[in-house]
Amino acid sequence: MSISTASQTSSNVSTQTQTQRLTAAVSAMILGAFLVYFAGFSHIDAVHNAAHDTRHSSAFPCH
């Protein structure tokens, strides 16, 4: 294996790792936003009240 081949392989692995991290971060943000807005604006009382009680139990002001 030549030096250029090893360098190219290392570069490809680094790019794939960064892409995977970015994909995971964006997916987590989308999922988190969906869960917050789903629970916060839900017309299902059980879902809204569960989120409300959870916020109060962790001493997070919600209103």
The more confidently predicted of residues 9 and 21 is 21
Q: What is the pTM of this model?
A: 0.52
What pLDDT is stored for residue 10 in this prediction? Answer: 58
pLDDT digits (tens, 9 = 90+) for 21-45: 999 999 999 998 888 788 777 788 8
H or E element, residue 56: helix 45-57
Q: Are 38 and 50 in contact (CB under 8 A)?
A: no
Question: Is the model's pLDDT at 17 over the cut of 80?
Answer: yes
